[in-house]
Chains A and B, each alone.
Chain A
Amino acid sequence: MRGIGKSFPGVRALDGVSLTLSAGEVLALVGENGAGKSTLMKILAGATPADSGTILVDGVLVRIDGPRAAEALGIGMIYQEFNLVPELGVVENIVLGNEPTRSGLLDAAAATDRARRVLEELGIDLALHTPVGRLAIAGQQMVEIAKAFTRKARIIVMDEPSAALSEREIERLFALIERLRAGGVGIIYISHRMEEIARIADRVTVLRDGRVIETRAVTAFPQDEIVQAMVGRRLDAHFPELPPVAADAPTVLEVRGLRRQPVVGPLSFQVRAGEILGLAGLIGAGRTEILRAIAGADRAQSGEVEIDGAAVRIRRPSDAIEHGVAFITEDRKAQGLVLGMSVRENVTLAHLAHFVNRWQLVDRAAEAHATAGMIDELHIRTPGTEQLVRNLSGGNQQKVVLAKWLLGKARILLFDEPTRGIDVAAKAEIYQLMVNLVRNGAAIVMVSSELPEVLGMAHRILAIRAGRIAAEFSHNDATPAAVMAAATGAAA
């Protein structure tokens, strides 16, 4: 791949990325969340077109304008979400879309034969006719790999293949990769786990902010240097100054022994009035699940939550709201907003009980008045309270979500990716708002995949790995490299 570029509205996802892969080689592709790995791989797989750049396979310029074109070129993708039909058996999945036929009818014997040969060649031991939905994740992954292999894939991309596997399963995966490599297949291995990269990869390419930072042989690339390359030295966004937490500030939220299978805990932490606690970590580390359990969006298996020193039971979102907990979700369109409703209806949704008259009828004038107040306070750019939220920009939609929670005078705010997908100006406004909130005594827990955001906006930072606290940092001694090392488990 040479000089690949790709832009989305407002974001330059890839900027002149080039990489090479030889037959029989394992190339590790690493980078932070949002560094551009997925976009790059989607371009290779034909799932999305590149804006610029060229792709050569065996030295020949090719055009990949769809998944079929990629497949024809021998490019196979193993996504984290498998593309298998769970109800069909192992054989049917392996030959899917490519079924052997005899005089127009499916030839089951030939299909079984073909599948068996492939599985044998790869050293995979699976019952041929089990519905793949009943296989463990590792088994399904083997089926995916076998499927790619039957299609004569010579380039196989694996996106965090070990993320959901146990130690033993990882060993089997590595054995399989060795066989593929011996058969001349080139593998692009996307992973965050440094120890795996050291074991399996020949070379490492580090992506950051849509650019290739460095490519080196793995033997000449120590783990701490890989991490350093991943986080880099970046231009700091303009974060407002954090007001110091008063020495005698009381603990507002305390979480003890929180556990939610299979991803969280047990873990414990506390947040004081006027404090912003940042949760850093990789996607899948369980950060969102921690917030969801506290907010009552999911039920925790065990653990205690204390608010203002008193134990509370939060079993559903309304319990959390009652205790002054607001959960600003990561995906505002799927979880935060009713897009087909007006700004007014969204802003008052969580506190509609405050807007009824003595007949229990909703008082629209009072709603509109309160909403207009929030529009002024948060500088929401909308033609009025009756505008459908669907028609607002991402930043203004996010402010509507915030308005919904601020209306209720929440004192504990759980922010999940508070500035995802919004422009720089709106980001700055939201940071300022968070500062104002803690200045007035609120406590904030913030999850963010943008490391500078966590470092710039949190008094304390917890690095979360595999649902547990891997390390704790204060605002002053947190460095990108140290936090990332803790989050990835690298030997720093």
Chain B
Amino acid sequence: MTGQAGRTAALVLDRASVAYGDVPVLEELHGTVYAGEAVALIGPNGAGKSTLIKAILGLVPTVRGRIEVLGVAPAHARRDVAYVPQADTLDPDFPVSVEQVVMMGRYRRIGWLRRPSAADRAQVAEALEQVGLSGRARDRFGTLSGGQRQRVLLARAISAQPRMLLLDEPFNGVDAVSQHSLLEAIAALKARGAAVVVSTHDLAIAHLACEEVCLLNRQQFGFGPTGTVLTPERLRATYGGRALELRGDRVIVTQT
């Protein structure tokens, strides 16, 4: 689908409602994200940010309206979509090396039986290079810091050469170096034409890395260019008023 100014729509939310069984989680979502752009999903805990990401992956059903990913239904787009979970949800004792984790991103291309080719290995090395962890390839995943683990998971996504990247709270508890490295790698993916969906509590990051913002709390409180949508009024509406503090012209989310 080609929108205004010849941009390609990567993600289309068309009055979409998402539900777990009979329990509606998100209702009436409406907006478009174009290739090469990023959207920040912003809202309090329990707002349905992770659920929207799962719906884009086709793991949670769209009960009304339509979600279109790279021009097709979500479940059919998975080959070109990479998902980055929160690093601290993974078992740090798992006996797997950094390199092996990144290679998981290649599994779909390698298949079940074939050995990883030289091209697969080169992709893995390049992805690790992009997140600045080339020197840690042979270390056990669990020995890295939280921020470094998050970078490894991003490298895994990069090695899959995705056209869309989904990140669930990638900046939670991440040190400054890792945050910088994550932002750079995300910018590189966008430059290559990938669309990015990132859930975050950090409004500064939304300003820094995302063209679009989607304000969520069970329903949509705004979807559009970051500068116009991230207003104190809309944030107050999204967070229910109490969780925000205004300092001059800056809005700070004090409670997640």
On whether the two chains bind one another, the answer is no
- Give me the interface of B with A, judged by CB distance under 8 Å: none
